[in-house]
Amino acid sequence: MAAFSPPPGTADIFEPEAREWREIERIGSEIFSRYGYGELRTPVFEYTEVFQKGLGSETEVVQKEMYTFSDRGGRSLTLRPEGTAGVMRALSNTDVMNQVEQRVRYFGPMFRGERPAAGRRRQFHQIGVENVGRCAPLIDAECIAMLGAFLRAIGLGDFVIAVNTRGVSGDRGPAEELLRNYFARHLDAMCDDCRTRFERNIWRILDCKQPSCGEIVAGAPDYVASFSEDSRRYFDEVRRALDALKIPYKVDPRLVRGLDYYVHTVFEVTHPALGPQTAIAGGGRYELFLPGGKRPVPGVGFAAGVERLLLAREALGVKAPAPAGPVAYLVGLNAQARLANLALADELRAAGIPVGLELEERSFKAQLREANRSGAPLAVVRGDSEMEKNTVIVKNMADGEQTEISADAVFEFLHKRDLSK
Ligand code: HAM
């Protein structure tokens, strides 16, 4: 049946799982808007250079994972692998260039050609925010605090936050030199990927997942100490603010994050339900040149992987409240009865009352089976004799008890039942 499966790394999301998705989006919107974030919906594809310039052409995402294709005019387009670059492209049309702060939140699909695994998809979804236009340690701390508030609100309060600083571009040279001198002495014992990283992007060695490289990384020099005093002070202030906010965190000098735009604060969140290797969210402060801009524009933000949030919630047994089921199922034993039921159902639904009904000609037994399946506590039945008398039979599905009431009273009767639920 392969032809009927969605492509690898993608999924169809049915109810009741879809309800869990809505819950994440609803809670996120509620919390983020409390902090002043408004929604921004950007296209799912952009000109390829938006990501090449934004994320850095040396990053793994840009080099190996982007879904890129040409439009009819031959321009290269890419399905967005993340949200930040597109948000910044969109904000270049606002006054963010003049240090007017913009706070935006987003929710939507992202695309990366990764090897699918549990919690790793080719089409995945992020819920995220970007606070763009200004740069201060307390802004970073507020952003992390908001992520914490969101995770608590969705039942993932036991999260673990790792933070680190990437300094600014001027800090990188001396730090790279320190790292280069150290790793040069250990290259023979390191994995092939790390040997390539040594040439192309030495920072990526720090987050290599190979145990043998991990041991070498553990002995690497304290490169943050070589950062400028300003950068170190910036990081101290972020940490002091996190302490004041009572947010537990650990400083992880191995945390460098995979995208090139980061400066100063970076952070990543894991949860014991998924283990320390699986980030449920990540983010940090960044700087990006916007089209036509002379100076880079600063921002800070994060994105959480919705699939991973849901996996963690599932592991903990956290579920969205079930919606109200139908108050009644309308059973019609002849064409006229079904027509009357259709009109009644429409009236009830217009009044906000969920009901189910049979619209096709089917046996009484089949309709009652359907009524049972719908979970409705009542069946409202009309046949020839009820139509003649202008009545309906209300059948209690739990104990089978039946009462006959006037058809003119049935709307009121079900309306009251709904209110008392
Ligand atoms: P990222 O760390 O690449 O950062 O992705 C953020 C989160 O998206 C990850 O922590 C993970 O939960 C989820 N994620 C990433 N790839 C996959 C995948 N293949 N399958 C399932 N989930 C995945 C960013 O994307 C940055 N734009 C975050 C940011 C916003 N930084 C500043 N502002």
Report CA-CA distances (Å) from 199 to 30, 55, 259, 395.
45, 19, 17, 77
Which CATH number goes with the domain that contains 41? 3.30.930.10
Whether 206 is in a domain gets the answer no
- Whether 311 and 372 map to the same domain: the answer is no
Mean of pLDDT over the chain: 95
Q: Which atom of ligand 1 is nearest to the CA of 130?
A: 33
Express each pLDDT in 109-135 by its tens digit.
Answer: 999 999 999 999 999 999 999 999 999
Region of poorest pLDDT, from 2-6, 11-15, 353-357: 2-6
Whether 12 is in a domain gets the answer no
CA 152-103-157 angle, 5° bins: 5
- Whether 341 and 370 map to the same domain: the answer is yes
Specify the number of domains making up the chain: 2
Q: Is the pLDDT of residue 382 over 90?
A: yes
Whether 211 is in a domain gets the answer no
- Pairing relation of β-strands 355-357 and 328-332? parallel
Confidence of residue 258 (pLDDT cuts 50, 70, 90): confident
Whether 300 is in a domain gets the answer yes
- pLDDT at position 3: 67
- Whether 374 and 308 map to the same domain: the answer is no
Last residue of a domain, one of 265, 289, 316: 316
- Whether 236 and 362 map to the same domain: the answer is no
Express each pLDDT in 192-227 by its tens digit.
Answer: 999 999 998 899 899 888 899 999 999 999 999 999
- Whether 252 and 382 map to the same domain: the answer is no
Whether 39 is in a domain gets the answer yes
Ligand 1 binding pocket includes 235 (Cβ within 6 Å): no
Q: Is the pLDDT of residue 420 over 70?
A: no
User: Which of 10, 110, 255, 306 is the pocket-test mutation for ligand 1 (most atoms within 8 Å of CB)?
Assistant: 110
Q: Which atom of ligand 1 is nearest to the CA of 61?
A: 3
Q: Which atom of ligand 1 is nearest to the CA of 279?
A: 10
Ligand 1 binding pocket includes 164 (Cβ within 6 Å): no
Last residue of a domain, one of 316, 348, 381: 316
User: Which of 10, 32, 82, 164 is the pocket-test mutation for ligand 1 (most atoms within 8 Å of CB)?
Assistant: 82
Express each pLDDT in 302-325 by its tens digit.
Answer: 999 999 999 999 999 999 999 889
- Whether 373 and 261 map to the same domain: the answer is no
Whether 181 is in a domain gets the answer no
Instruction: Write out the residue range of the structural domain in which residue 72 sits.
Output: 17-168+228-316
CA-proximal residue: ligand 1, atom 18 (nearest):
120
Mean pLDDT of the 152-159 span? 98
Ligand 1 binding pocket includes 265 (Cβ within 6 Å): no
Q: Is the pLDDT of residue 1 over 60?
A: no
Q: Which atom of ligand 1 is nearest to the CA of 257?
A: 2
- Whether 247 and 336 map to the same domain: the answer is no
Q: Which atom of ligand 1 is nearest to the CA of 258?
A: 3
HEC profile for the chain? CHHHCCCCCCCCCCCCHHHHHHHHHHHHHHHHHHCCCEECCCCCEEEHHHHHHHHCCCCHHHHHHCCEEECCCCCEEEECCCCHHHHHHHHCCCHHHHCCCEEEEEEEEEECCCCCECCECCEEEEEEEEEECCCCHHHHHHHHHHHHHHHHHCCCCCCEEEEEECCCHHHHHHHHHHHHHHHHCCHHHCCHHHHHHHHHCHHHHHHCCCHHHHHHHHCCCCHHHHCCHHHHHHHHHHHHHHHHCCCCCEECCCCCCCCCCEEEEEEEEEECCCECCCCCEEEEEEEECCCCCCCCEEEEEEEEEHHHHHHHHHHHCCCCCCCCCCCEEEEECCHHHHHHHHHHHHHHHHCCCCEEECCCCCCHHHHHHHHHHHCCCEEEEECHHHHHHCEEEEEECCCCCEEEEEHHHHHHHHHHHHHCC
Confidence of residue 2 (pLDDT cuts 50, 70, 90): low
Distance 258 CA to ligand 1 centre (A): 10
Ligand 1 binding pocket includes 80 (Cβ within 6 Å): no
User: Which of 124, 156, 159 is the pocket-test mutation for ligand 1 (most atoms within 8 Å of CB)?
Assistant: 124
Q: Is the pTM of this model over 0.75?
A: yes
CA-proximal residue: ligand 1, atom 13 (nearest):
305
Q: Which atom of ligand 1 is nearest to the CA of 126?
A: 8
User: Which of 66, 127, 270, 308 is the pocket-test mutation for ligand 1 (most atoms within 8 Å of CB)?
Assistant: 308
Percent of the chain with pLDDT over 90: 89
- Whether 262 and 366 map to the same domain: the answer is no
CA-proximal residue: ligand 1, atom 14 (nearest):
305
Last residue of a domain, one of 264, 281, 316: 316
Express each pLDDT in 322-368 by its tens digit.
Answer: 988 999 999 999 999 999 999 999 999 999 999 999 999 999 999 99
Whether 176 is in a domain gets the answer no
Distance 80 CA to ligand 1 centre (A): 12
Whether 306 is in a domain gets the answer yes
Which CATH number goes with the domain that contains 372? 3.40.50.800
Distance 281 CA to ligand 1 centre (A): 6
- Whether 289 and 348 map to the same domain: the answer is no
- Whether 136 and 63 map to the same domain: the answer is yes
- Whether 119 and 259 map to the same domain: the answer is yes
- Whether 415 and 300 map to the same domain: the answer is no
